[in-house]
Structure 1
Amino acid sequence: MPPLQFEEESWQSTRVQLACFASGCATVMISVAKFISMFLSKSTGLRSRIESIFAVVVGYVLADFLTGIVHWAIDNYGDPKHPVSGPQIEAIQCHHQQPWILAKRHVATNIYIQGVVATLLFSPVNMFCEDLNLLAFTSVFACCGFFSQQFHAWAHTPRRKLPPVVVVLQDSGIILGPSHHAGHHQPPFDRRYCIVSGFCDWFLDKSNFFVGIEVVLFHMLGVEPVSWGTKSLL
């Protein structure tokens, strides 16, 4: 794949991107605030609070897992020539050639699409849901999914340029750290796909989860993933 050239102007966000980002932020903040309010309510019992903490953990782990699935799919099967999603797919695939570009882009440029998805999926939950466990799950899942690409960008940002709280979160493993994610940027770029924290990478890589799916898809559809072609060049 030839190197993708980025114009410096493309690092800045458009008004539409800023609006989508703001909408996603508002949706996620409302979701988290509603969960915390119900969690701290005097009418909420100890058992319900314990169950909601379990739902938080499930939402966090599932978000990490699904970002790995999406990242793997786009890296290996995304079509840069698609009329709608092509530019985004091309930028993501060429990220392997110029990974530092991600850290240069404005946060709204990085995650405005996730803002649209978060608004559409979780606004109805914010408005109508009164179940503590569901709110616990959706608030954390929405927050992690929405900010996952920014966690990814921070993993490519020099530590001296990061806010101290981000460095603490990276060092504690709560969000994606640069040392862990560096393993993804080693040819053939076929591991450590998860970008919330990378927690699920241990299972996915050890079990050859993605390799198994790739083999099945190859035998069913005759399509090779991009990573197979990269391996042949090593």
Structure 2
Amino acid sequence: MAAVVQEEFFKATAGHRACFAGGCATIFIAIARSILFIKTPQDLLRSTLAALLGYLAADLVSGIYHWSVDNYGTAETPFLGFQIELFRVHHKQPWAVTKYDTARAVHIVAAAVAVLLLPPALAARDPAALGFLAAFGGFVMFSLQIHAWAHTAKKNIPAGVRALQDAGIILRPSWHAAHHRPPFNNTYCSVSGWCDPVLDKLKVFETMEVVLFHVAGVRPQCWSENKLRRDSGDSTIDEVEE
């Protein structure tokens, strides 16, 4: 019976699917309106460049979000508690993230995308602004699924996804594996990982952790995790089968 309950936990409910549908509808509206307002080649170029910027911004935001839920809050934190628990368990059982239905995993982010981006997507008339919203919202919403694919055996994911991983357009498993090795405090971005080298070289998250500790007295989870795994000699990571 416990096994049945555990399996059911990974399944999406009608509420999760409704949140996911709302996020997808928001992205579709932004894409459709961006195409509608493209009148000249210059509009097309501006919209394409804005979409690329949105893609990079989504990678950055995914890293900030991943860092925050990895290190702060608890399962009881309002609204984000499920996401925090998902990420904390993920560090102990990296394979578990692959078991979630997409709607179950992304429903909170999808709801946020719908609430925050639908009004500007309906109001904007500039194809560049709409292109940015579409790319940013879409990649932010699917960042958790992209992360799950980075832990999934290649034989179990679609060929198109494998091609995107191999091209570096979405997160490569080999790149993300560094996040699960000591010191467990870097490589947080989970769309493409392109922002990681800059963030890690500048020690952006490490600096933010020190500032928060000195200002609020809050220790990030990665400090304890790093010490625990060093002391136990555990530096294992989730192996993705080729």
Q: TM-score, normalised by structure 2?
A: 0.87
Matched, 1:163 2:185: no
Query: Could you tell me how far apart the structure 2 residues matched to 1:126 and 1:103 are?
Result: 31
Query: Could you tell me how far apart the structure 2 residues matched to 1:82 and 1:38 are?
Result: 41
Give the C-alpha shift of residue 156 in structure 1: 1.0
2:68 to 73, 81, 102: 73
Q: Would the aligned equivalents of 1:20 and 1:112 in 2 still touch at CA under 8 Å?
A: yes
Q: Identity of aligned pairs, percent?
A: 43
Matched, 1:24 2:19: no
SS at match of 1:7: helix
Query: Could you tell me how far apart the structure 1 residues matched to 2:204 and 2:227 are?
Result: 20
Q: 1:18 to 1:98 in 2, by over 3 A?
A: same
1:107 to 102, 106, 115: 102
Matched, 1:200 2:199: no
1:122 to 117, 124, 130: 117
Residues 103-122 of structure 1 show CA distances to partners (whole Å, capped at 9, x for unaligned) of 11111111111221111122
2:59 to 61, 64, 67: 64
Q: TM-score, normalised by structure 1?
A: 0.90
Residues 74-132 of structure 1 show CA distances to partners (whole Å, capped at 9, x for unaligned) of 11112223254323312211111111111111111111112211111222123221111
1:229 to 224, 228, 232: 224
Residues 159-188 of structure 1 show CA distances to partners (whole Å, capped at 9, x for unaligned) of 111111101111111111111111111133
**Equivalent residue number for residue 3 of structure 1:** none
1:139 to 106, 123, 134: 134
Q: Would the aligned equivalents of 1:176 and 1:196 in 2 still touch at CA under 8 Å?
A: yes
Q: In structure 2, give the amino acid aligned to 1:47.
A: Q
Q: In structure 2, give the amino acid aligned to 1:15.
A: A
Residues 11-50 of structure 1 show CA distances to partners (whole Å, capped at 9, x for unaligned) of 11111111111121122122122223333xxxx2333332
**Equivalent residue number for residue 210 of structure 1:** 205
SS at match of 2:186: coil
Q: Would the aligned equivalents of 2:33 and 2:125 in 1 still touch at CA under 8 Å?
A: no
Q: In structure 2, give the amino acid aligned to 1:169.
A: L
**Equivalent residue number for residue 235 of structure 2:** none
Identify unmatched segments of 5+ residues in structure 1: 1-5
Q: Would the aligned equivalents of 1:192 and 1:201 in 2 still touch at CA under 8 Å?
A: yes
> Which has the higher mean CA deviation after the structures are superposed, 206-215 or 44-53?
44-53
Aligned residue pairs total: 225
Q: 1:120 to 1:54 in 2, by over 3 A?
A: same
